[in-house]
Structure 1
């Protein structure tokens, strides 16, 4: 069974599926978990690999197929190929193989770069494979490891806590955020993406840190902070107050200052009015009654026109002006 190409040979001879009386050759691919579960049990038992989990299976069946020129010599054979994409196994099932010798050579084995032959290959015993106990301890069932592969993750291949996935003759590292590379050996410089809106970025191993400018806070320095340490988002409007005074203290201080200023202005106006009235009385004594009436009218008129808190708070009136 020499060949430059890999092959499987469960029963290599001239077989003729004539599609009469239900004889046929068929194949089917399985990837559903329920079917693969049974394949897992077989591989785990036969290969003594308890961790094997199949991902793909091919089943090829020669059912009631006749040996060429001997239609009454029918056999039923299955070739099952099972893989987890790392290691691949095959099972030869000689379900109904017990016929007389018709003189044809029958090869049983496989070639995956290295040829392997069944002990009954090219012997007359090959016609009765269903009656022989296979290497599995079961009649007519033979199990072979087609593509053995070591576990490429056993040496802690991935750095920085990356998770290693074993592949056929290879491995793949699934890196944690912040790392990249075949073995997760390269630290990603997150600062290249400029994640800090209002601050400076410092790259760290597997991460980064934002040092915010004055008045900004948050992981990305994207939240404005007022003087009372109340964080304001971009959508909110915050009044920045003095770090030493509360809102109430500042408001009362402003009111007190304005009140004092207005009191000075009011007293000045009052003094000026008194002096003016005094000089008028000295210059035109005979017009005393008219002047007083005029002052009263002017004062009342000013109160109405100004309408400010100065006059209201001080409760100025013509009577207090006299």
Structure 2
């Protein structure tokens, strides 16, 4: 990771920079701190922090509350030091420390524009901003020597920037050491840190080209979405040293590369589920239709869900019509069966009657034939005898 410190000295304007308001919660006292939540966290150096600790002594720390008033720019812990010295705000309206966290993008418009302008990152969009102001705060040993310093901490949860705005720091040396700079894993000190010129920071042109305004890149991370990381139309969100894909329905995985098997949820009520790329399709059983095969198709071509009352009424009526139709069919079939049965019975009676008549006729014919045969045989015998008798006298002759 490259850590960039913006230290170009280009004079843009000699006007005092007072863009951010003094508002929010206030506190004060000698060597006291306040903890502020910065969810979902901001990157500082190689770590992400979710809270900051603001000290009345012109110091902001991240991993612990530090109350010391003796500046040490080589300290191992990460910190921002807009004006680290022995300060003593009175917790009064005109002598206190105020702070406020901003998350609304419309309220972050100025912060977004400042980062784009000073860091030359045209696509930056601020997501969180913390504004801390040591307003009209006096030195511990010199109550009449007062300063107003503002620290603006800006982040998109990937990169973090800070601005030190020395609104009213123009006083004489009171003998206290003043540390100005930061530590994000690497210590950096402002050129005026630990010098008597630190008491007159409002009169010096900052690295922004404006009087009293200094801009620093605390954490800079490359755009991890620049190479079209997400597949299947997923939207990439750049994160600190990482990225996150917001997948379209039907896809999952780090890069939306995996097709979701929608059929595992059994979306088809009365049918088979066919998984497709990014979706699914239901093949309905006969008589069922709809995307999820959950609607019955009626005989009168009306379609409604089983849960609807109208469908129940239509289904009941259809069932009644079916019963009536089936009853009529049964009646017709019964009548036809009765006719066929009666016809069969009549045919059997007629057949029996004709058979009864034919049996006597056959008997008579047989008897007549027998008599004829008997008579004929008898006559033939008599003729034969008679012939023999007639031949006998001739034989005697």
Question: In structure 2, what is the Cα distance between the partners aligned to 1:18 and 1:231?
Answer: 77
**TM-score normalised to the size of structure 1?**
0.69
Question: In structure 1, what is the Cα distance between the partners aligned to 2:291 and 2:216?
Answer: 57
Is the counterpart of residue 118 in structure 1 residue 171 in structure 2?
A: no
CA shift digits 1:141-187 (9 cap, x unpaired):
00111121212211222222111122222222111111122222221
CA shift digits 1:49-96 (9 cap, x unpaired):
233222222111112222332233221111111122222211101111
Is the counterpart of residue 219 in structure 1 residue 291 in structure 2?
A: yes
Question: In structure 2, what is the Cα distance between the partners aligned to 1:32 and 1:190?
Answer: 37
SS at 1:16 equivalent? coil
Larger gyration radius, structure 1 or structure 2:
2
Match of 1:23 in 2: 95
Match of 2:228 in 1: 156
Question: In structure 2, what is the Cα distance between the partners aligned to 1:207 and 1:34?
Answer: 38
How many corresponding residue pairs? Answer: 259
Match of 1:51 in 2: 123
RMSD between superposed Cα atoms in Å: 3.3
- Structure 2 residue aligned with 1:95, among 167, 184, 191? 167
CA shift digits 1:262-321 (9 cap, x unpaired):
9x79xx9xxxxxxxxxxxxxxxxxxxxxxxxxxxxxxxxxxxxxxxxxxxxxxxxxxxxx
Match of 1:137 in 2: 209
Structure 2 unaligned spans of 5+: 1-72, 307-311, 344-397
Question: In structure 2, what is the Cα distance between the partners aligned to 1:230 and 1:132?
Answer: 83
Question: In structure 1, what is the Cα distance between the partners aligned to 2:143 and 2:290?
Answer: 84
Match of 1:243 in 2: none
Query: Cα–Cα, structure 1 residues 210 and 82, in superposed 2: closer, same or farther, change >3 Å?
Result: same
Structure 1 residue 111, shift from structure 2 partner = 0.7
SS at 1:10 equivalent? strand
Question: In structure 1, what is the Cα distance between the partners aligned to 2:287 and 2:106?
Answer: 61
Question: In structure 1, what is the Cα distance between the partners aligned to 2:79 and 2:98?
Answer: 18
Question: In structure 2, what is the Cα distance between the partners aligned to 1:71 and 1:230?
Answer: 88
SS at 1:142 equivalent? strand
Question: In structure 1, what is the Cα distance between the partners aligned to 2:198 and 2:303?
Answer: 85
Structure 1 unaligned spans of 5+: 241-246, 269-322
**TM-score normalised to the size of structure 2?**
0.57
SS at 1:35 equivalent? coil
Aligned runs of 1:240-279 on 2, under 5 Å?
A: none
The structure with higher relative contact order (CA 8 Å, sep 6+) is 2
Question: In structure 2, what is the Cα distance between the partners aligned to 1:35 and 1:226?
Answer: 59
